Amino acid sequence: MRYKVALLPGDGIGPEVTDAAVAIMEYLAEASQVTLEITSHPVGGSSIDAYGKPLTDETLQACYDAQAVLLGAIGGPKWEGLPHDQKPERALLGLREALGLYTNLRPAKVYPAMVAASTLKPECVSGTDLMVVRELTGGIYFGDPRGYDEERGWNTLVYTRPEVERIARAAFEQALKRRRHVTSVDKANVLESSQFWRDVVHEVHRDYPQVTLEDMYVDNAAMQLIRQPTRFDVILTQNMFGDILSDAASMVTGSLGMLPSASLGDQYALYEPVHGSAPDIAGQNVANPLAMMASVGMMFSTTFQLPEAERTLTEAIDATLAAGHRTADIAAPGTTPISTTEMRDRIMETLQEIMERQRTSAPIA
């Protein structure tokens, strides 16, 4: 199989974690007998510096031409003084809208070796393995009218029936692959848009009787996520709530540097780590590339339909962490962290060991 992948390294630590992940991507592709055609394009602040806009027509066309997009990170203080509609982050919203990426999958899994890295008690986070399914192209981030003046600021929160139906189906489909439990998060006690959301989700649920559905207010969901994260399987929620809850879930796992994500539509797919551009550590070779690598794993499983490649990569990450290798964001006090490139090399070595073991233990036909 041959696939086109558009790389958008972006800003800050984006290029560093992208470089590390591409090495893993190319190795997995070769091992899986997949041919990749990879092209790199500017986006965000780097695109502003080069072309005066955060998302050029050329970069967008490259994404249209690719089967998958791999995005590093966007933004930084250098561009904070720009008008709101010209900031680097507008590129991300533009990509989501242009590519129709309405489903955002954000898994939060606590690797056994990372149980002590969370700020929560080990017995609280051990066994956490949840998936946030966030609606990505509707809600308050995209609603009109919106604006501000000297006296007030305003945004509009709107959801249509098709928008809620398709994200609800995405969540129920995810649940069928997991533990068959969906928690739909809203604020139906005070927001009419949330009551509408709840009604439509329940209608869609009729097509998935094998999945258990519960409703939960977003404030309670935030509390339960910290109190007992293992109670969740799939969390279904709207754009803004999903943005907040998935970042909260990252602290359960110990670091934003551990969380991958996939943004999916009917035709296109974009993969990116949940973390930001971290300009304070950019260029120092200390960033954690594991979220970016795990995003590559999601690409292999979802776009390339090679779930075994993702499972093997997850096993390699787990084994590397179990061997005590840590970047600075997840290193225990008093220990010496390894660099971005060293983590890349450790993951690569472990991948090679796992695949060699798989090859030699395979039954002879």
Q: What is the 3-state secondary structure (H, E, C) of 117-173?
A: HCCCCHHHHCCCEEEEEEECCCHHHCCCCCEECCCCEECCCCCCHHHHHHHHHHHHH
The answer to whether residue 243 is catalytic is yes
Q: SS3 of 12, please? A: coil
Q: Which amino acid is at 212?
A: T
Instruction: Tell me which of 19, 129, 247, 345 is the catalytic residue.
Output: 247
Q: Which of 102, 141, 159, 208 is catalytic?
A: 141
Q: Which of 65, 199, 219, 266 is catalytic?
A: 219
Q: Which of 243, 268, 271, 329 is catalytic?
A: 243
Count Cβ atoms within 10 A of the Cβ of residue 152 and give its class: 0-12 exposed, 13-18 middle, 19 or more buried.
Answer: exposed
Q: Which helix (H) or strand (E) holds 222?
A: helix 218-227
DSSP character at residue 84: G
**Closest to 15 in 3D by CA, of 50, 55, 54, 42:** 42
Pair type for strands 2-10 and 260-264: unpaired
Please say if 141 is a catalytic residue.
yes
Q: Can 217 be counted among the known catalytic residues? A: no
53 annotated active-site:
no
Tokens of 117: 């890295």
Helix (H, G, I), strand (E, B) or coil at 170: helix
Which residue of the set 4, 53, 78, 187 is catalytic?
187
Distance CA 235, CA 168 (A): 10
Pairing, β 260-264 against β 103-109? antiparallel
Both tokens assigned to 215: 């409703």
Residues 6 or more apart in contact with residue 46 via CB below 8 angstroms = 9, 10, 11
Q: In the numeric block, which tokens belong to residue 214?
A: 């519960």
Catalytic residue check, 187: yes
Task: Give yes or no for a cis peptide into 145 (omega within 30° of 0).
Answer: yes
Active-site positions?
141, 187, 219, 243, 247
